[in-house]
Amino acid sequence: MLRIFSPLILINKIPLVHLQYFIGRWGANAVKGEVSLLFPCLRFCKEPIIATIIVYFFTFFKGVFEKSYKILQIFLSKRGKTADFSFFRRRKPLRALTKRKKSFIMYGKETTMKRIYLDHAATTPLDKEILEKMTPYFLADFGNADSPHAQGRAAMNAVDNARDLLAEKINAKPSEVYFTSGGTEADNWAMYCGAYAAKEKGRNQILVSAIEHHAVLASAERLKNEGFEIVYIPAAKNGKIEVKTLQSLLCERTGLVAVMSANNETGVLQPIEELCAAAKAAGSLFFTDGVQLAPYLPVDVKKSGVDMLSLSAHKFYGPKGCGALYIKGGVKMRGLIVGGEQERGLRGGTSNVPAIVGMAAAYAKNLQEQADAAEKLRGLRALFLQELAGEDGVEINGEEGLPALLNLRLKGIRNTDFVYSMDLKGVSLSAGSACASASIKPSHVLLAMGLSEEEARESVRFSFGKENTKEEILQAANVAKELISRLRGGNSL
């Protein structure tokens, strides 16, 4: 019996808000019909412990029945018979559970309120106009871009046209643009390519800012294991990488400098032109992660002077699974993925034609709308801050940068509790980078800016989008104020 009840003993150690979150997620699956008879119990339970006990015992007895059923099947099959338990199976989910308005589930109740999405730094919805431009390459023009026939040539033309368009918009040559599977691959490729290009010139040191995306930091660690010297550039308290700090670290061994254009957690903008000029003066290559910059500000690789720059389509209302890497002509290239002759023989793998078409079209459209969108986003950000102005213990992390990002410290409130509670109230946001959201570690960006671990664990990220309305921002701010008060009082919902 102790073995059966031991998981229940641990429940008392789980924070209430986490328990409510997982029960809510489990209940959402129940609506789909997996355990539809159990859902009413979850919906009307007053105490999380009771709901959890129901879940536990239902799962336990369901498992016992399934094992017995399988044993009986094996037993009867040896005698040339079959076991038929179809009468146990509900052919259709309960009508009351299937004919509902679109809704999301909170612990103990359900709401039909439309969700408010404030996590655009993690990803953006695919623009419908972009989807229409991609659709032909899923259907009629579905050919492999490397095939010699008419459908293959049509696909290759689409890829070439997309490359030309994207290159034009970032002020590069088409031959300098390479398509990838996303920003992470582009970051990896740039670090790998830049490091070994520098090594051939006798430069073995790589300077990497301490606030980079994990894709860059992980690449740096891998290169360290391959014999490169990695030096991290510290950030100032406002989140900036100062030119004088970089200059103090540059030396004759430095072959590559990596500093992101805009931070994905705080939105702080870096002085890329000045940093790049300092690196070039020391004879070093310069790589910048432009993934968060591109959705909000124009990218001009010639003006900035960078040698390499990464982009990701899903950050500016394009498709997921597609990115691009700009590599300046003259930088010696190395392939990262082998097995094909795509991307001028440097990246093996069938070209994702619909996504490539979508990425170029999305960037062009985003660039056209950027100025108006930025003005709107600044207004939404200011409105949200204005609504929270009366709350004690709310501080902004980093200086103002991108118009859509806002990183706040909520004193005395753990960020995971706040994010889960907002989610249950219908507002989507995050505690930081989406690529590290599953980690229990505090944000490395905030730690690099001088915050303590406790302060970093009290920080959350709001990121607004062009489809957000003032009404949504006001509603989200009201929910945030309510939860700040309740969570500081020890209650979650």
The whole-number pLDDT of residue 101 equals 46
How many other C-beta atoms can be found within 10 angstroms of the C-beta atom of residue 272? 22
- How many Cβ atoms sit within 10 Å of the Cβ of residue 7? 11
- Residue 359 and residue 311: Cα distance in Å, rounded? 10
Q: For the chain, which domains are there?
A: 2-96 (no CATH), 116-125+369-488 (3.90.1150.10), 128-365 (3.40.640.10)
Collapsed DSSP state (helix, strand, coil) of residue 34: coil
Confidence band, pLDDT 50/70/90 cuts, at residue 88: very low
Q: Which of 181-185, 370-374, 423-427, 433-437 comes out lowest in average pLDDT?
A: 433-437
| pLDDT value of position 349 | 93
The predicted pLDDT at position 89 comes to 47
The residue behind tokens 């991307």 is 343
Neighbours of 181 (CB within 10 A): 17
Closest CA relative to residue 43, chosen from 102, 113, 99, 96 = 96
Q: Is the pLDDT of residue 438 over 70?
A: no
pLDDT at 40: 45
Distance CA 196, CA 268 (A): 30
Closest CA to 472 of 399, 376, 340: 376
Average pLDDT rounded to a whole number, residues 415-430: 96
Burial 440-449 (b: 16+ CB within 10 A, else e): eebbbbbbbb
d(CA 373, CA 390): 28
More confident residue, 166 or 333: 166
Among residues 41, 45, 322, 435, which one is catalytic? 435
Residue-level pLDDT at 441: 84
Buried/exposed 38-53: b ≥16 CB within 10 Å, e otherwise: bbebbbebeebeebbb
No. of helices (H) and no. of strands (E), the chain: 18, 14
Question: In the prediction, which pLDDT does 186 show?
Answer: 98
Integer angstrom CA distances of residue 86 from 73, 186, 258: 13, 52, 62
Question: What pLDDT score was predicted for residue 491?
Answer: 58
Average pLDDT, rounded, for the chain: 85
Contact 183, 321 (CB under 8 A): no
Residue 304 pLDDT exceeds 90: yes
- Residue 341 pLDDT: 87
pLDDT tens digits for range 137-188: 999 999 999 899 999 999 999 999 999 999 999 999 999 999 999 999 999 9
* Res. 489 pLDDT band, cuts 50 70 90: confident
Q: Is the pLDDT of residue 31 over 70?
A: no
- Calculate the alpha carbon distances from 192 to 84, 198, 222, 338 in Å: 59, 10, 9, 14
**Does 64 score more than 80 pLDDT?**
no
Read off the pLDDT band of 439 (50, 70, 90).
Answer: low
**Residue type, position 375, single letter:** E
pLDDT of residue 415: 95
Q: What is the pLDDT of residues 117-138, one digit of tens each?
A: 999 999 999 999 999 999 999 9
The band of 51, judged by pLDDT with boundaries at 50, 70 and 90, is low
- Asked if 193 is an active-site residue, the reply is no
Secondary structure (3-state) at 70: helix
Is residue 34's pLDDT more than 60?
Answer: no
The pLDDT tens digits for 200-233 are 999 999 999 999 999 999 999 999 999 999 999 9
Torsion angle in degrees (nearest 10) through CA of 233, 237, 238, 241:
-10
What backbone torsions phi and psi does residue 285 show, to the nearest 5 degrees? -75, 155
Which token pair is 331? Answer: 């930088």
Buried residues in 358-388 as b, exposed as e (16+ CB within 10 A): bbbbbbbbbbeebeebbebbbebbeebeebb
